[in-house]
Structure 1
Amino acid sequence: MFLGVDYYPEHWDIDLIDEDLSRMKDMGVNMVRIGEFAWHLMEKEEGRFDFSFFDHVLEKVKANGMNAMFGTPTATFPAWLANRYPDILNEDINGVKKSFGGRRQYCFNSETYQKYSMRIAEKLITHYRDEEAIVSWQIDNELGHEDSDMCYCGSCLRGFQEFLEEKYGSIDELNERWGTIFWGQTYNGFSEIPVPKQTITVHNPAMMLDWSRFRSKSLSRFALKHVDLAKRLKGDHQTVTTNLPGGLFGKWFDSNEFSRDLDFVSYDNYPVWGGLKEPISPAHLSMTLDFIRGLKKQNFWIVEELMGAQGHDVIGYLPRPNQAKVWAWHAFAHGCSNMLFFRWRGMNRGAEQYCLGILDSNNRTTRKFNEVKKFFNEVKEYEELFNSPVKADVALLYDFDNIWSWRIQQQNPSIDFTEEVLRLYEPFHKQNTAIDVLRYDQDFSAYKVVLVPVPQLIDPALTERLEEFTRNGGRVIVSYRAGVKDKDNNLVFGSMIPGGLSPLLGIEVEESESLHEGQSVPVVSTDSDRRTTAEYWRDLVNLTTATSLYRYDDPFYNEYACVTENTVGSGKAYYIGAGIEKRIVEEITAKAAGEAGIETVETNPGVEVVSRTVEGKAYRVIINHNGYEETFGELTLKPYDCVIAEV
């Protein structure tokens, strides 16, 4: 098990390195992550490469019995490169080039940047391919983070036009599928198609979805070139990864497109960051970890685990004593197998002065140091347990085409895709049921329940697989606005919503209503007087073969169903046709879990139980996310405590 820190010896007087490594060793560190922002240190002038600084660092690392993960430094290029080759710079939606000064200001489609970034990576990896201390290469850093996944420059314009010509073959095919007859937008050739910079009103939604796909392909192609290069040049004892940033569903790229080629997936785990007055919820945090695990359906690394408060300009919530430690336990419970904390010491200069680490700029050993030390001493005793796979009975499916379709035409400013994911995820998380968060193309036939949140754009092949899964005894839960669009991001002509999903769900949607902020509609159970409300959206549902569990209860629409159940073969499909209250979703999910024979564990709010098995022995990782004492059975849990118990 690798346990360590992100270390930037170039930020400090190099004479501090012996003291640093000695204290790290005392803390239990056996790996440091280095180098990912040090391009200028390696190539101060074009073509003059010097790795002597890191030669020295690695000798010190080895002398202390540690290993290293080395980052290729392409997320922050040197000033001379931007000054000499300004075509590498990213361009915003208004046509303004980004300035040198931040990070990730490069364009993924710039041939110049591809050339120079590949060259520094090649020189670096070749230099250290036989270095025994380097056990893994990290490609770039948080690819696409902080809106760096979007660019509108000339290289992107040419690339987009080539992408479209390759996809459609003829301009007539594109015009037909995009519906360019509307507003007289018909193109005579691919060279007439712009990138979607600012215009009056909005761009064509079909164009915008293809633009999103192109953005994702641009980033993935860049990443895969670097992954392939590293795999070709690295030593046999070395592996290749890259660290994914948070905000998973808010990106203009699909991380599946390159993550599946990595030796293992890595993630930067920040339950709170600058500007947040409190951390994200335990369910939200669990869902992100389950997403990372689902990319390869394998355990993963965390290479940046938060310890101190964070912020570039605005500082976020300060983790309470032992709270960051319990987040680390929580990550291991959900599939992390190796962990590096960010960062060894907070920097006293530059843009991240308020991204605090284990040590602050006072360089004192304080509570945070002792907290990490205690965690390292405890977690290494469970290496075998945390190397075991997470076994889930529930799968939550997503498709980035669908996510981008929602972002392109939001329909209601209050609808947020991540929140709709959590609407279905959170009830199972509350029941302490393991969940795999998977792209729709992964095999889900062995699960017991499949969740499909707000799939307005759904692949026909997925519809067939969901039908087969249900016929074979599975339970499917689908939420509102399903089956509205085709793969070109156009409304489906000639069939009632939910289109191809209609036989599975046993319904037809006659009309829909967007419920804006402050609006809600009454909903009532069909077999009792249980009452609730719905917000954000409602589908007015007619039944074909389904039965109604809840209906609307306002005078104009009380004949329409809101929540339905349909039997298909030996399974059932549920439709939640509105932004209904959580307690009703919990009722539906509990019903589905009971029918499917899924084991659930009751806990007090804020107490999470994750089941793991190793060598036939069952264990429970019991986590108290609360800042006060809690109980689970006969166990007493201190605030932000974690207990591992054999069942």
Structure 2
Amino acid sequence: MNRLELGVCYYPEQWDRSLWREDAQRMAEMGLDWVRIAEFTWGLIEPERGVFHWDWLDEVIDILGEAGLRVMMSTPTAAPPKWLIDKHPEILPVGPDGRVRGFGSRRHYCFSSDVYLAEACRIATEYARRYGQNPYVHAWQIDNEYNDHDTVLSYSKTARDGFRRWLSDCYGSIEVLNDTWGTVFWGSLYSSFDQIELPNELVASPNPTHALDFARFSSDRVRLFNRAQVNVLRQYSPGRDITHNFMAGSFEFDHHAVAADLDIVGFDSYPLGNLLGSTLSEDEKRRYLRTGAPDYQGFHCDLYRSQGKGRMWVLEQQPGPVDWAEKNPSPVDGMVRLWTWAAYAHGAQAVMFFRWRQARFAQEQYHTALLRSDGSPDQAAVELAQVAAERENLPDAPRERAHVAILLDYESIWAADILPHDDTFPNARIIREWYAGLRTFGVDLDFVGPQDDLNEYILIVIPQSMIVSSELAAKLRGSGAKLLIGARAGSKTPDMHTPLNLAPGELADLTGVTVRRAESLPELAQETVRFQDGATYDFTGWREIIETNETVVASFCSAYRDGSPAIVRSDRAIYLAMIPRGPLLHTILSDALSWANIPVTDCEPDLRITRRGGLGFAFNFGATGLSLPSDGTQGYLVGGSEIPPYGVSIWQDR
């Protein structure tokens, strides 16, 4: 499917049934293809155990289908009903403070609960039996936004008991666990698995391998929960695509692993909702207050497209101000259109808008929609109509495999949070900033995980991979790609130990580097990096003292170990002994692309260019018009070589 499809999230249960048929007709007239429904309907469908009220949902599906709309049905497990909580209060999640998180909103369940897993499969089976063969139901979404409200890590008794069983299966004997965790340190040995507690509410920091194993266990429970419902749907609704809507910016479980069980990988896109809470500078937040960061949409689309092996949907697209952020500004007119085309350019097969009509009651009254609560069209509806008309001018264009890949390893992100060595260690921010830096050169990107095929890439970028297994190192070695490797890579084994040969451990032969010491520096340190041509750049934060016999590209200017290597290049790899930002990062990325013979297009700060098959796309995130470089071969299908503020241009090479 290479034509952009459009959809909307619809909550008919929140509106009088007299509106349903009119709503469906208006959706079809707007050019919508899909309607996602029912993710929070368990308590309405089954108000008490075994008593089902299907009639209203049957009617909604018929109305939507008869209007020519395809339905994405959802399993309703993100919001278990009160009667189930009353019967089984042990399914409620527990926060790191030890307090039970109660009923009254959503996501009030613990992934570790086998009781809830069985209940989730039971209600998913009921929905699948009812609608699995319905001719109007063409796809399924499982649950809603795993880890919303920080619910992956639950510190319940159920989680503790499950974690103990998981550890027993993993280690076999308590002696092996003690050796692997290094419990001889601080004398914290265990004599049985039943003695092990969860790594929260401790006097000091937990044992890092203990904490990492709990993160792994918790991630495994998310995959188990998701896969169990996938299996139900495969049985009762064969031939329908299955997806889940991942939360953009969430790294608390392994999305690579969960995505492997899905047909389509979806995510929810809120560029403004996530702006103020991001790690952008205050100046950048001010600059992009009404547009979102230029690489927000691209980053997540490329990530989830890669995890979906080319099949990615935006399942919730921000239509205007949201209601859940610290502050909730309106996007400038034109941004909903821009975000939609940016999603398509980065590989989205479909974009669904959240939501159809703005709520009149309950928690999300300020969250905008395509329609206002009185049914009048809001700005997003105007821009949707424009997109629907523009897509008719475009030929089919598949998104092709990129030449450059970014390695994203969730376990390394957990590990760096557990053992930071720097209270402000940027962690996942490093990956975002390197992605954004590469995109300013017009470079198209894929994401890969440690389990993926790494062959056929020209350059593999490794911004933050603290844990590098021997298997991953062998893949990197065998890929033939050139490597750009960030500081701290390979500094821990999968057991969270320092490698016997010191960092970068399994990457030592590729980099020709040995890390002798790591420090973290405050802003006041005023350290610099000097290149061989004399150019100098400021940096702060993480710094490594390394030894190497390979080519030193740049050195540190410092009162401590002045002249020690900062950037080293071997035949296969560039290794960084610090974490670059700003101009230093820009220079390093430019040099790496040149070294790998990757063609680049220098973009102004507000301009982003990407390709999808034979189509080129340009997006202006700025308040002034921009000119595209042209060689006369572009045949413009949308816009032209002059891109107005917040504008879009799409062309086909003649």
Partner amino acid, structure 2, of 1:316: N
Determine whether 1:413 maps to 2:423: yes
Residue of 193, 209, 224 corresponding to 1:206: 209
Match of 2:331 in 1: 319
Structure 1 residues 8-407: aligned runs within 5 Å? 8-236=11-239, 238-249=240-251, 251=252, 253-273=253-273, 276=276, 278=289, 280-312=292-324, 314-382=326-394, 384-385=396-397, 388-407=398-417
CA distance in 1 between partners of 2:52 and 2:561 (Å)? 72
Gaps of 5+ in 2: 277-284, 631-640
The alpha-carbon deviation at position 130 of structure 1 amounts to: 2.2
| Cα gap change, 1:65 to 1:454, in 2 (>3 Å) | closer
Match of 2:635 in 1: none
Superimposed CA distance per residue, residues 230-266 of structure 1 (whole angstroms, 9 cap, x where no aligned partner): 1111144x221111111133x1x10122211111111
The alpha-carbon deviation at position 561 of structure 1 amounts to: 0.7
Give yes or no for contact 1:539–1:577 (8 Å, CA) kept in 2. yes
Give yes or no for contact 2:547–2:565 (8 Å, CA) kept in 1. yes
**Residues 417-426 or 6-15, more deviating:** 417-426
Partner amino acid, structure 1, of 2:425: I
| Cα gap change, 1:462 to 1:537, in 2 (>3 Å) | same
Residue of 464, 468, 479 corresponding to 2:474: 464
Partner amino acid, structure 1, of 2:294: P
CA distance in 2 between partners of 1:219 and 1:31 (Å)? 27
Partner amino acid, structure 2, of 1:221: L
CA distance in 1 between partners of 2:428 and 2:562 (Å)? 30
CA distance in 2 between partners of 1:483 and 1:128 (Å)? 48
Match of 2:629 in 1: 633
Q: Secondary structure at the match of 2:205?
A: coil
Residue of 477, 492, 495 corresponding to 2:484: 477
The alpha-carbon deviation at position 220 of structure 1 amounts to: 0.8
Task: Name the % identity.
Answer: 28
Q: Secondary structure at the match of 1:384?
A: coil
The alpha-carbon deviation at position 583 of structure 1 amounts to: 2.4
Superimposed CA distance per residue, residues 410-439 of structure 1 (whole angstroms, 9 cap, x where no aligned partner): 211222222211343223211111111111
The alpha-carbon deviation at position 521 of structure 1 amounts to: 0.6
The alpha-carbon deviation at position 503 of structure 1 amounts to: 1.8
Residue of 529, 533, 536 corresponding to 1:528: 533
Partner amino acid, structure 1, of 2:560: F
The alpha-carbon deviation at position 312 of structure 1 amounts to: 2.9
CA distance in 2 between partners of 1:512 and 1:111 (Å)? 43
CA distance in 1 between partners of 2:561 and 2:553 (Å)? 15
Match of 2:494 in 1: 487
The alpha-carbon deviation at position 382 of structure 1 amounts to: 3.1
Determine whether 1:502 maps to 2:535: no
Partner amino acid, structure 1, of 2:435: Y
CA distance in 2 between partners of 1:587 and 1:274 (Å)? 28
The alpha-carbon deviation at position 280 of structure 1 amounts to: 4.5
Partner amino acid, structure 2, of 1:543: T
CA distance in 2 between partners of 1:455 and 1:514 (Å)? 17
Partner amino acid, structure 1, of 2:340: A
CA distance in 1 between partners of 2:576 and 2:426 (Å)? 16
CA distance in 2 between partners of 1:101 and 1:380 (Å)? 44
CA distance in 1 between partners of 2:591 and 2:178 (Å)? 47
CA distance in 2 between partners of 1:227 and 1:518 (Å)? 52
Give yes or no for contact 1:532–1:581 (8 Å, CA) kept in 2. no
Superimposed CA distance per residue, residues 186-228 of structure 1 (whole angstroms, 9 cap, x where no aligned partner): 1111111111220101110010010010000011101100111
CA distance in 1 between partners of 2:348 and 2:534 (Å)? 46
Superimposed CA distance per residue, residues 576-595 of structure 1 (whole angstroms, 9 cap, x where no aligned partner): 11123432332232233223
Superimposed CA distance per residue, residues 111-151 of structure 1 (whole angstroms, 9 cap, x where no aligned partner): 22122221111111101122111100111111222201111
The alpha-carbon deviation at position 466 of structure 1 amounts to: 2.1
Partner amino acid, structure 1, of 2:389: N
Residue of 550, 556, 559 corresponding to 2:554: 550
Q: How many residues align?
A: 628
CA distance in 2 between partners of 1:313 and 1:159 (Å)? 34
Provide the alpha-carbon RMSD of the alignment.
1.8
CA distance in 2 between partners of 1:335 and 1:118 (Å)? 32
CA distance in 2 between partners of 1:284 and 1:314 (Å)? 18
The alpha-carbon deviation at position 167 of structure 1 amounts to: 0.6
**Residues 291-300 or 359-368, more deviating:** 359-368
- TM-score normalized with structure 2 length: 0.93
CA distance in 2 between partners of 1:203 and 1:256 (Å)? 27
Give yes or no for contact 2:413–2:428 (8 Å, CA) kept in 1. no
The alpha-carbon deviation at position 315 of structure 1 amounts to: 4.1
Q: Secondary structure at the match of 1:337?
A: strand
CA distance in 2 between partners of 1:612 and 1:154 (Å)? 49
Give yes or no for contact 2:147–2:250 (8 Å, CA) kept in 1. no
Residue of 514, 521, 525 corresponding to 1:519: 525
The alpha-carbon deviation at position 465 of structure 1 amounts to: 2.5
Determine whether 1:583 maps to 2:583: yes
CA distance in 1 between partners of 2:39 and 2:380 (Å)? 24
Gaps of 5+ in 1: none
Partner amino acid, structure 1, of 2:538: T
CA distance in 2 between partners of 1:155 and 1:529 (Å)? 60
| Cα gap change, 1:530 to 1:113, in 2 (>3 Å) | same
The alpha-carbon deviation at position 274 of structure 1 amounts to: 6.8
CA distance in 1 between partners of 2:516 and 2:297 (Å)? 37
Match of 1:595 in 2: 595
Superimposed CA distance per residue, residues 371-394 of structure 1 (whole angstroms, 9 cap, x where no aligned partner): 111112212543622xx1332010
Q: Secondary structure at the match of 1:600?
A: coil
Q: Secondary structure at the match of 2:371?
A: coil
Give yes or no for contact 1:274–1:316 (8 Å, CA) kept in 2. no
Partner amino acid, structure 2, of 1:640: Y
Give yes or no for contact 1:33–1:68 (8 Å, CA) kept in 2. yes
CA distance in 1 between partners of 2:386 and 2:133 (Å)? 34
Partner amino acid, structure 2, of 1:531: T
Q: Secondary structure at the match of 2:476?
A: helix
Give yes or no for contact 2:347–2:612 (8 Å, CA) kept in 1. no
Partner amino acid, structure 2, of 1:240: I
